[in-house]
Amino acid sequence: MSPDSAESSDVLPSTSPAFDAAPIHARPFNHTPAYPPPDLESCDQEPIHVPGAIQPHGLLVALDDEQRIVTASRNIERLVGHRTADVLGASLTDVLGPSATAALDLALEDGDLLSPIRIRLDPNDGTLSSCDVDLVVHRSGGRTVVELEPVESPQLSATVSYRSARTAVARLTETETTAELCERLATEIRQVTGFDRVMVYRFDEHWNGEVVAEDRREDLNPFLGLHYPATDIPAQARRLYTVNWTRLIADIAYEPVPLEPVLDPASGAPLDLSHSVLRSVSPIHIEYLSNMGVSASMSVSMVKDGALWGLVACHHYSGPLRVPFDARSAAEFLGQTASHLIDDRERADHHADERRSSALLGGITTSLAGDPRPVYDALYSDERLLSLVGAHGTALFADGQLLTLGEVPPASVLHDIAARVGAADGKATATNHLAGLSPDLAEWAHLAAGALHIGNGPDRWMLWLRPEIEKTVDWGGDPTNKLIAATEDPSVRLSPRKSFAKWRQVVRGQSLPWESWQLEVVENLRQHLSAELLRRTHEHTTLAESLQRTLVLDEAPSFDGLEVLARYRPAKGSQLGGDWWDAFSLPDGTVVMAVGDVAGHGVSAATAMAQIRTGLRAYMIDGQSPAACVDRLDVLTRTLLPGQTATVVVLTISPDTGAVRLASAGHLPALLVRPEQAEVLPEAGRPLLGIGFGAARTDELVLDPGDTLVLYTDGLVERRGVELDVSIEQLRSAAGTTAGADLEGWVDALLTTVPGTLDDDLTIVALRPKGSRA
């Protein structure tokens, strides 16, 4: 089982050399008097939120609307000196004193439930007489629930929660990656709470878990990288984690304190303790912790976009540990802070992966361009092809020839995989569970449990393959873990080793999942390969037209805050032209748009178009400004496409502010259409790409709501016998007088603004902000 097996708790593996206490299922304690003891087969149905009992280090009362006690924990006589039977029906003031009632009224008045209020109890005949306590209030159905915990060393707890947490948050924000964030979080929470081991446990898309960070006592063996099945933390436990972020078990060997009565007298149902800080936990969970030698535990939730992302699990081995409420609040605050930072760190991780893969792809394609061998032979002699997407094997089939690299199954199996995974359009597709597509493929999972596919027709495809996870992860890899597994009593029902074995069964036949950026990088490779083949063959017109269809988008992508419309028209006779356009988002939300025109027609123009477009994407993803991107495209054109020239205009726009940064190389000027007028923007920057002269500059402007920016190629305005300036003025005049709310109709009207025969292909892209900005 996992950090919180069968219970919404923190059961990440921890070990002690020996644990000679009696098995928990043999003890007389009833942890859940509200329902029968669960078994391993039904634990996913266990109603853990209504146990009917609490842990003994505090007391609980439930009140009706008149603040009279309807339910009380049976330890109330020991703690405050009133028999349980006598407090039922009594007022809170009569039982806990005026100070508790005043604190309750304050919490209800402020609406600040679940935050502790520190008070000193009035004198009574129990052990909490005149003691400092933390009073916590929450609502459960129609009841107001009040819980008290005695404060131990109040000065120390205040120091821990304030002084440590303040600087810890600053250290969390200094991290740059998800791994660094989780490692720092484990360290900070261990320092705040004093547990022997603190681990960060992350869920995958199927709710299987992995220990991704750990901070521990030096003599404890590591559990970093261990995996657990989704069944260890069932759905009802995950729900509790999202409503109650912190849970403490101060003493695993605690004797549960039943509530009196177990069933609410009004509803006839057990009291819902989802928000309780003292809730008794599942006996299955206690059994698991006991078998691991854990004496105290705590968990802190990590929630991203309202869903459980992971857990911080804390374990102690050297006796009970009652973490002060302030320290628990500090740990919860650190968990919340980390939760807010996760999205940014994951984006940074993906961006770094994209940059590494772009650099790797650049190296591969550069080598191809200078290699005299046939394209596919050169490609499959490059080991970087495996590292490109983290594969163990790859295969290519084209023109009746099969090439492989790394570890792959037989040819017949490869053809079967390609047929099952590939899409009709050849675009990148992937699966991490080939056996789910065909049971016959299960026997090859040691080589190919997952596959990534690109194609160019039914008889041309490439595959990247990954083996099943079971092959690459082993719980017994750590020498100490091997010893634990070898010496474990066969009668033990629950343990980390048994959980890991169950996880291996769950994931058998599955590979690590493919990331979206990996599909993008092989899609870019597909375009590179098509371009390289076209460059070498010069006459494969069918392939060239397929390449252009791949590169020139059929319609504009959708972007939040922007309306984008594009039109492309081929030249007379459908001759393959050099027009292209592109639009995509950067990790920070900025949108990049570009329109270009490569000189010439046919295969050579399409080849150059592919390389320039791919280069632009790589440079912009790498963080270059539009001007720097244009200058680097000039170097690329001169280096890889000698004798070729092209024009391009590149811009970035912030959907939130409308701020535009624009750079151009020899391209026709953009058209800015405002409600009151249309204007032709100054021609910006350097001459054509490929001539090695001049430097680009970045111009800036702001698109306000109602403004429209138009980018186009010369096919829209260039006509025989008509001066270009005259045609552009015709376009400007028509744009200013016909602009309206219907962007599609407006753009279609502009296509016929300049009369005459269309001798060249034509591209027009219009963009404008949606709605209004505050």
Number of residues assigned to the chain: 774
Task: Collect all residues with Cβ–Cβ distance below 8 Å to 456 and sequence separation of at least 6.
Answer: 426, 526, 530, 543, 546
The secondary structure of the chain in percent helix, strand, coil, rounded to multiples of 5, reads 35, 20, 40
Which range scores top for mean pLDDT: 402-411, 424-433, 466-475, 567-576?
A: 402-411
Q: Counting Cβ atoms within 10 Å, is residue 651 exposed (0-12), middle (13-18) or buried (19+)?
A: buried
11 HSE (CA, 13 A, CB side): 34
Give the lowest-confidence range in 217-221, 460-464, 484-488, 686-690. 484-488
132: its two tokens: 């400092």
Phi, psi at 209, each rounded to 5°: -125, 155
Does the pTM exceed 0.75?
no
Write the burial class of residue 39 (CB in 10 Å: 0-12 exposed, 13-18 middle, 19+ buried): exposed
| Of 199-208, 414-423, 466-475, highest mean pLDDT | 414-423
The tens digit of pLDDT for each residue in 298-332 reads: 999 998 888 889 999 999 999 999 998 888 888 99
Q: In what order do the strands lie in the sheet with 227-228?
A: 227-228, 209-216, 197-203, 307-316, 296-304, 246-249
Question: What is the structure's pLDDT at 456?
Answer: 76
Question: Which of 16-25, 138-147, 256-265, 389-398 bottoms out in mean pLDDT, i.e. has the lowest?
Answer: 16-25
Residues 707-728: tens digit of each pLDDT? 999 999 988 888 877 888 888 9
Residue 246, φ and ψ in degrees, nearest 5: -130, 140
Least confident of 83-97, 356-370, 533-547: 533-547
Task: Return the pLDDT at 547.
Answer: 59
Sorting pLDDT into bands at 50, 70 and 90, what band is 1?
Answer: very low
Distance CA 420, CA 269 (A): 52
Measured between alpha carbons, how far is 296 from 247 in angstroms, rounded to an integer? 11
Yes or no: say if 393 and 408 are a contact pair by the CB < 8 Å rule: yes
Tens digit of each residue's pLDDT (9 = 90 or more) over 610-669: 889 989 999 999 999 999 999 999 999 999 888 899 999 999 999 999 999 999 999 999
Inter-residue contact 611 to 591 (CB < 8 Å): no
Q: pLDDT value at position 677?
A: 86
**3-class SS letters over 30-64:** CCCCCCCCCCCCCHHHCCCCCCCEECCCCEEEEEC
Q: Please give the backbone phi and psi of residue 267, each rounded to the nearest 5 degrees, phi first.
A: -95, -25
Q: What is the CA radius of gyration of the chain?
A: 33
Could you tell me which residues are beta bridge partners of residue 137? 146
- As a whole number of angstroms, the distance between CA 703 and CA 685 comes to 21
DSSP states of 70-103: EEEETTHHHHHS--HHHHTT-BHHHHH-HHHHHH
Question: Contact 689/635 with Cβ under 8 angstroms?
Answer: no
pLDDT > 80? residue 9: no
Q: Which pLDDT score, from 0 to 100, does residue 472 have? A: 45
